[in-house]
Structure 1
Amino acid sequence: MSTTKPSSVEDTLRDFWQTRPVRPRSGRRFAGVCVAIGLRYGIDPVLVRVAFVLAALYGGAGIALYLLCWLVFPQEGDPAIEPGTREPTSAVLALVLVLALIPAMSWSVQFPGVIGLVLGLGALFLLHRHHADRNRPEPPEPTGENAWVYPAAEQRTAPPSWDPLGAAPFAWDLPEPSRPEQPPEQRPKRRWITPVALLLAACCAVLARYSGQGLAEVLAVVLGVLGLAMVAGAFLHGGRGLIAVAIPVGALAMVASALPPGAAWLGVNDQRVHLIDAAAVAPRYRTAIGDVDLDLRDARFPGDREVRTGADVGVGDVTVRVPADVDVTARCSTGIGSVSCLRNTAEGPGQHREAHDDGPDGPGGGRLVLDLTTGTGDVEVTRG
C-alpha cells in the first residue's frame, strides 16, 4: 500500500474521494461525521465537533458543511456480516439531506456564511493534503476473476541470507524474513499552543477595541483567533484546552450580536419600575440581558407637560403600561420577536411600529413619548 501524499490539487481531491472518511456505527453522537474525520486523520473528534459549532456561528456554514459530509461520507457496514465494508448513503436519506441542504445553503449565502464555507472546505482540503497517509483504509481483497495471480518464484542458485551454510536448499524459495514493524513514533503534544493562542487572542482583542470596534466585533475577532488556533492544534496535536475558552466566547458573541448597534455592555438584570409621579420617569432604561417593565398607570401627568422616556434591551422583553387618559406616542422596534404598540402589532425579524393614541377622553391630560427597542424579544405598550 502506498503512503505517498498527493502532490497536486487534482490528485488530492481524487485521493480524498477514494479514501474519504467512513462514518462508524459506534462512538458517534449524531451521524458520525466528526468521529469519521477524527478517526481518518488521527484527530480528537472533540476538536472536530468544536470546529463545526464555531463554523455554524458564521452564517450557519457549519450546518451546511455537516449535512454535506453526511451526504458524501459512506457508513461502516455491519461488522457482524462482513467486517471492513462500506454502505453508501441510501437513496431516501440522500434525498432528505439534499432537501435539508437547500435552506442551509440559502442561509449560508451571505458574507459570513461564504467565509465559513470557504474556511471549512479549505481546512478539510489541507487536512487531507498533509495527513492523507494517516489511518489510510486498506484496498479490498480481489476475488474471483480479479484475484491476484502471483508469479512463480525463481529458482535460487545461492543460499539466502537466513541459510548461509546451504543446509536447507528445499526451503530456499521461502521469502526473506522481514524485520518487525516499528510502532509509529508518538509526536509530543504541543502544550504551548494554548497559552500562545490566548495571548494572541487578547492582543487582537485590544487592537480591535482601540480601533473603535464594538463588543460583538471584538468577540468575533477573539473567536476567529481561537478557531484558527484549534485548526492548527489539530495538525500539531495540541490546543485542546482552547475548547473551554471558545465555547463561552461563542455564546457571548451570539448575545452581543443581538444588541442594538452601538450599544454597550450593560449587564444582566431585570428592571421593574412602578411610578406614581411622572417627574420620576428616567430618560432611558437600559440592560443587555433582562426585561424592562415600566408601570405608569398610577402616574400623574400635568396637562401642559410632555414626558419622554425609552428602553434599550439586548436580549429580553420591554413592557410599558400607560395611564388611561394620557396622550401617547410610541415607537416600538425589535430585531427578532414581536411588537404590540398600542394594538399595532407585528411579529417576525426586523419589526418596527409607531402609534399615537389620545385615549378615550381625547387630546389633553398630558403627553408621553416612548422610544422602545430590543434586539431579541418582545415590545408591548398597553393602556390602562
Structure 2
Amino acid sequence: MNTTDSAKRIEGFEDTVKDFWVSRPRRPHHGRKLAGVASGIGYRYGIDPTVVRVAFVVLTVFGGIGLAVYLLGWLLLPGEGDEVSGIESLFGQGQSSMPKGFALALGVVLVPMWLWSFSGSWFDGGAFFGLALVVAALYLLHRSRGHLRRPTPTVPAAGTAGTTTVTGDTGVWGRPVSSAPPTWDPLGADPLGWRLPDETSPAPSPQSEPPAPPRRKSKVGIAVMGLALAVGGAGAALAAEGVPWFTPAHVVGLVLAVLGLGMVVGSFRRGGRGLVWLAVPLSLAGLVLSVVPLPHVGGGFGDLETTPASAEQVLPVYERTAGDLLIDLTRLSGTDRVTTTVRVGVGNLAVIVPPDADVRYNCEAGVGTMECLGQERTGIRIPELRGVDYGVDGEGGPRITLTAQTGAGNVEVLRG
C-alpha cells in the first residue's frame, strides 16, 4: 500500500470518478464485521470504520437506502487477495474469492432491494436524499484523500495473458518486495555503488523519535450536537403546535440527517466520533417508528385529568401529544347525550363512564394494551375494538359515543 503524501492530487470530476473506480477500496479479511465494506472504506480513506458502519445504519433507517448500498459495495468492491470484484468475475474479467453463484444471487437480490428503497419510506424522499449523501461523501473523500493509501493493483503473473494468477505472493495490494525477482533493484541504483557497513563495525545506536505533537481537539462534534438538539427541539415544538408534517418520525429523521452530515464533515476534520453514541439510539427509535408509526396528535405535553359536571362541559376532543389522560364522565345522568374523542400520541388514557350509561365505543392503539368494557387486546398494530355496551341495567340512561385512541400506550374504558 502506498502511503506517501507526496502523490499528485486528483483534479477534475471525470478524473475523480475514473480514479475512484481504479483505486476503489478493497474488502479486508481482518477487521470486518460482515462483508468488509465499511472497514474497506474506512481503511482506504483513513476513517474509523465504526463511523462508516453507523452511517450505513442511519441510512438504512433514515431512507432505507443503507442496506442496498452495502450490498452493492459487497458486489462491486474486490476482496483482499482478489483480482477483481464479484460482479467482474461473472464476466470473466479475472478471479475472485466470491463464488459466481453467490455473486449472481447477490445481484438478483439487489434489484428488489433498490426498488423497495425508492418505493417509499417513513421519511418522504429519504432514499433519494440518502443516495445523494452517499455519492457526495464518496466524491469529496476521494477528492481530498484519494491520493493517499492507494492500493496497488495486482499485476498479471508471468506466463499468463489477460488474467492474473492469485498466489500467496500476489493480491490486490501488489507483489511484496520479498517475492520480487532477484534482478529487480528496489533502490534503482548500481549495486556496485552501494556502501555497505563493515560486519565488525558497531551498529548505530537507535535514536528515539520525537514525540508526536498533541492532536488538536475538533469542535465539529460539539457544534453538530448543538445543531442536532436545536433541530430536534424546534421539530418537537412544531409537532406540539399541531403543524401537520412534523410527526415524531419526521423529527427523528431530521436529527439523524444533521448527525449524518456532521459525521461526514467530521471525517474530514478528524472529529465527530462521539456523534455515534447519539445516532445509534436514534436509529433504533427511527426503526421503531417505521414499524409503528405514531399518529399526529396536538394538545401539547403533560397529563390531563378532568371531571365534567354536565353534558355541556364535555369537550368534543381531549388530546395530548405525550402524557396521560383521565376523563371521568360518571357525573352524566338521565337523558344526557355526549360525543367525545380522547386521544394521545404517546401515553395512557382512561375514560370512566357511569354504570347505567349506554356506551358506543371505538378503541384504537398502535402498540400497547386495550381494555374497553370487557374486551381486551394487546400487541403491535392492534385491530380496533368496536362495540355497544348498555351497562348493568340494560338499555336506558346517558348515551355516550366515545372514540379512544393512542399511538403507544394503554387504553382503558371502565365503568364507574
TM-score, structure 2 as length reference: 0.61
1:98 paired to 2:108: yes
Match of 2:142 among 120, 128, 134: 128
C-alpha distance in 1 between matches for 2:392 and 2:106: 56
Moved more, 67-76 or 253-262: 253-262
Residues 187/13 of structure 1: CA separation in 2 closer, same or farther (3 Å cut): farther
Q: What secondary structure is seen at the aligned counterpart in 2 of 1:368?
A: strand
* Residue deviations 1:175-233 (CA, integer Å, cap 9, x gap): 9xxxxxx9xx9994552212222344455556667877647455544432222111011
* 1:3-14 → structure 2 map (5 Å cutoff): 3-14=7-18
* Residue deviations 1:2-54 (CA, integer Å, cap 9, x gap): 94444343433333333322222332223322112111211001111221222
Residue in 1 that maps onto 2:26 = 22
User: Offset of 1:239 from its aligned partner?
Assistant: 1.3
The 8 Å contact of residues 321 and 382 in structure 1, kept in 2 or not, is answered as yes
* 1:153-302 → structure 2 map (5 Å cutoff): 171=192, 188-202=215-229, 204=231, 214=246, 216=248, 219-250=252-283, 258-263=293-298, 266=301, 284=318, 286=320, 288=322, 302=333
C-alpha distance in 2 between matches for 1:127 and 1:21: 12
Match of 1:313 among 344, 350, 353: 344
C-alpha distance in 1 between matches for 2:32 and 2:326: 46
Residues 234/353 of structure 1: CA separation in 2 closer, same or farther (3 Å cut): same
The 8 Å contact of residues 293 and 318 in structure 1, kept in 2 or not, is answered as yes
User: Offset of 1:281 from its aligned partner?
Assistant: 9.4
User: Offset of 1:364 from its aligned partner?
Assistant: 2.5
1:373 paired to 2:410: no
Q: Percent identity?
A: 36
What is the identity, as a one-letter code, of the residue corresponding to 1:106?
Answer: W
Residue in 1 that maps onto 2:132 = 118
Moved more, 92-101 or 222-231: 92-101
The 8 Å contact of residues 57 and 283 in structure 2, kept in 1 or not, is answered as no
C-alpha distance in 2 between matches for 1:100 and 1:278: 62
C-alpha distance in 2 between matches for 1:170 and 1:25: 38
1:41 paired to 2:45: yes
* Residue deviations 1:226-246 (CA, integer Å, cap 9, x gap): 221110111221111222333
What is the identity, as a one-letter code, of the residue corresponding to 1:305?
Answer: D
* Residue deviations 1:336-372 (CA, integer Å, cap 9, x gap): 79999998x9x99697786656679875332122222
Q: What secondary structure is seen at the aligned counterpart in 2 of 1:137?
A: coil
C-alpha distance in 1 between matches for 2:348 and 2:140: 46
C-alpha distance in 1 between matches for 2:409 and 2:108: 33
Q: Unaligned 5+ residue runs, structure 1?
A: 79-84, 154-161, 163-168, 176-181
C-alpha distance in 2 between matches for 1:295 and 1:28: 58
Q: What secondary structure is seen at the aligned counterpart in 2 of 1:126?
A: helix
* Count of aligned residue pairs for this structure pair: 346
C-alpha distance in 1 between matches for 2:369 and 2:47: 44
Moved more, 250-259 or 299-308: 250-259
Residues 378/65 of structure 1: CA separation in 2 closer, same or farther (3 Å cut): farther
C-alpha distance in 2 between matches for 1:382 and 1:74: 64
Q: What secondary structure is seen at the aligned counterpart in 1 of 2:360?
A: strand
What is the identity, as a one-letter code, of the residue corresponding to 2:126?
Answer: P
Residue in 1 that maps onto 2:36 = 32
TM-score, structure 1 as length reference: 0.66
The 8 Å contact of residues 41 and 131 in structure 1, kept in 2 or not, is answered as yes
Q: Unaligned 5+ residue runs, structure 2?
A: 83-94, 162-174, 176-180, 196-208
C-alpha distance in 2 between matches for 1:287 and 1:201: 21
Residue in 2 that maps onto 1:178 = none
Moved more, 25-34 or 202-211: 202-211
Give the CA RMSD over aligned residues.
5.2
C-alpha distance in 2 between matches for 1:136 and 1:170: 29
The 8 Å contact of residues 58 and 66 in structure 2, kept in 1 or not, is answered as yes
C-alpha distance in 2 between matches for 1:350 and 1:118: 37
The 8 Å contact of residues 63 and 104 in structure 1, kept in 2 or not, is answered as no
* Residue deviations 1:76-134 (CA, integer Å, cap 9, x gap): 349xxxxxx95246423541563265146424433122211221232123222322223
